[in-house]
Amino acid sequence: MTADFSSWPHVVIVGGGFAGIAAARGLRRARVRVTLIDRNPYSTFQPLLYQVATSTLNPGDVTYFLRAVRRNQPNLRVELGSVEFMDHEDKHVVLDDGRAISYDYLIVASGVSAAFFGIPGAEENALPLYTRTEAIDVRDRINGLLDAATKRPGEQLRIIIVGGGPTGVETAGALAELKNKDLPILYPELDVDAMEIMLVDMADRVLGAFSESSSTYTHEELEKRGVTVALGQSVKEVRADGVKLQAMDDSGEETWMPAAAVLWASGVAVPPIANWNLPQGRGGRVSVSDTLQVEGLPHVLAAGDIAALESGPLPQLAQPAKQTGAYAAKVIEGLINGTEISPFEYKDLGVLATIGRADAVAEVGNLPALKGFAAWMIWNSVHIATLIGGRNRISSMVNLGLKYIMWGRSNNLIVGDITDFSRNATIGPLSAARSMKRHDHWR
């Protein structure tokens, strides 16, 4: 027998990421109806997307079917669509298919996307790594590029990663492993020395959110793996065949750096939400009080990457998103029950970044800063445990485990449809740029 929730207050959650799912689950036992809206039918575990992009994990390993969140939560419904408009006076949101969904309480947790900072050519040519689709596109373009390079002997193959944060560092380390471990076996036609992995950042060190000790260690370990680390370099332009860099020192010297692919891991921004009628601050993030309520709209809350607290914005990472999502659910229960809720307090659980096989840096809680194998084991444990769903945890653990257990004995990369990318890079410039069209019959 199906329970009748029609008389209960209706909570609409926009966004099925870390914050949105945490909010939905936080309302599991509340006397409310919950509708979770997302443009995709799945939630993506973004910290492991680079493993998809570098051919180690399947896309399904890092995505979770949103409707499965309903298990043991009969008060939840999932709607597929993009929110085009919000009317906070009449309390409803309008989806891209014209449907209007009314709400009593609204949680905006739609997240952010790659930021290109107005750099000429970056959006057109660089390859971002923020969504499942983008990760698959990077994977297939890189593998197509390698295949094309076998037909163009003697050419240099440089892959530039822009951004020295965890995503950039982890991507550079994974590509270095592909070059050093897999390239000699899978692509004997290629000269390994002709391929270069370069990490570029405008800061004076990688992993700026970590201690200087962890940053220095990471820099040295990347260079041991053959990664060229170019710091103090600002990207001024991205073209299909490379990037223009400018030194951040007083010289301001500009350098043209040819590249077959430019991977973008240089920050995030809020996509256009002008029609949502919400106050926006720096970076387009929605301005909220320390109870996550939007100014002048007490029944509207924002959580996760899109929210900027009046006491100061939180890091745009998984843990702040999950914590604010769960807290938003408590605020709504408090509003319904007439109970006072204390201001949100973020609990910093630490930061992690992996460099490659058996190597990472970890700064967690009261533990001393860890490096090497111990930090790598913590990184693996935390990421696998944080994945949503038992199947995802098992499949990721198997795929990651086999890669490292079978180190030196298996080179079976996960690939997709690369033929047209390869053909295009064979008949045109040796480039995997976003602007490079696929072969005509694939358009």
Secondary element (H or E) of residue 294: strand 293-294
In the chain, what percentage of residues exceed pLDDT 90?
78
Q: What is the CATH number of the domain that holds 79?
A: 3.50.50.60
Gap between the Cα atoms of 82 and 72, Å rounded: 26
Residues 226 and 311 in one domain: no
Residues 49 and 65 in one domain: yes
Amino acid at 21: I
Residues 208 and 279 in one domain: no
pLDDT band at 397 (very low <50, low <70, confident <90, very high): confident
104 domain residue, yes or no: yes
- Average of pLDDT values for 332-337? 96
Domain count, the chain: 2
Residues 127 and 252 in one domain: yes
Triad 288, 290, 293: Cα angle to 5°: 45
pLDDT digits (tens, 9 = 90+) for 163-173: 999 999 999 99
Domain residue limits at 18 = 10-112+270-337
Q: What angle in degrees, to the nearest 10, is found between the helix axes of 419-427 and 132-149? A: 50
For the whole model, what pTM was predicted? 0.92
- Please identify, among 337, 366, 383, the residue that sits at the C-terminal boundary of a domain: 337
Residues 100 and 159 in one domain: no
pLDDT band at 442 (very low <50, low <70, confident <90, very high): very low
Residues 107 and 127 in one domain: no
pLDDT at 316: 86
Residues 141 and 103 in one domain: no
Residues 210 and 128 in one domain: yes
391 domain residue, yes or no: no
Cα 141 from chain centre: 18
pLDDT band at 393 (very low <50, low <70, confident <90, very high): confident
Residues 46 and 134 in one domain: no
Cβ–Cβ under 8 Å, residues 269 and 284: yes
Gap between the Cα atoms of 369 and 349, Å rounded: 13
Residues 105 and 140 in one domain: no
SS3 148: helix
pLDDT at 2: 55
pLDDT at 440: 43
Residues 169 and 290 in one domain: no
pLDDT at 405: 74
Q: Among 322-331, 336-345, 423-432, where is mean pLDDT lowest? A: 423-432
Residues 156 and 255 in one domain: yes
pLDDT band at 411 (very low <50, low <70, confident <90, very high): confident
Going by their DSSP bridges, the two strands 286-288 and 307-309 should be labelled as parallel
- Average of pLDDT values for 190-209? 96
440 domain residue, yes or no: no
CB neighbours of 197 closer than 8 A, spacing ≥ 6? 158, 159, 161, 172, 175, 176, 179, 226, 227, 228
pLDDT digits (tens, 9 = 90+) for 217-246: 999 999 999 999 999 999 999 999 999 999
